[in-house]
Amino acid sequence: MIEETIKSSLNTLGYAAYPNKKVQDAALPCVVYKRISRIPNRTQNATDTLRKSRFQFDVLASTYSEMKIMSEAIITAFDATKTYFTEGSFLLNDFDVVDEVFYRHVIEFFIFYKGS
């Protein structure tokens, strides 16, 4: 599954990663990732297994500078590359979010991959 590849890729970068929500007692910094949508591949070729999904990464940290450094590292690693995802990934959007508990930066990617 693509979610396993995302988790493994974030772990390779040295970041703790969690699907959908942060584990309650998880230490900062960490990344929470979730699929926002899956875009159907419209083709007449029934054997085509190319998938395109939009994923959101929430970078959570206890300091602003730590959040920014992590965010830039993820963008550099994942944007317009086939390093982690065999069919590619592209940055859609990124922005800071005001949060009372921690510093949070949201990054959105289209990720292309084979399979489910």
Domain 2-40+49-114, CATH among 1.10.10.350, 3.30.70.270, 3.30.2000.10, 3.40.50.2000: 3.30.2000.10
Scanning 1-116, the segments in alpha helix (DSSP H) are 2-12, 64-78
**Can you give the residue ranges of every domain in the chain?**
2-40+49-114
Predicted local confidence at residue 46, as pLDDT: 59
Distance CA 22, CA 116 (A): 24
Predicted local confidence at residue 43, as pLDDT: 67
Q: What is the pLDDT along the chain (116 residues), one digit of tens a residue?
A: 788 888 998 999 999 999 999 988 999 999 999 999 987 776 676 566 778 899 999 999 999 999 999 999 999 988 887 766 668 889 999 999 988 889 999 999 998 887 75
Predicted local confidence at residue 17, as pLDDT: 96
Distance CA 38, CA 31 (A): 21
Closest CA to 9 of 84, 115, 91, 88: 84
pTM score of the predicted model: 0.87
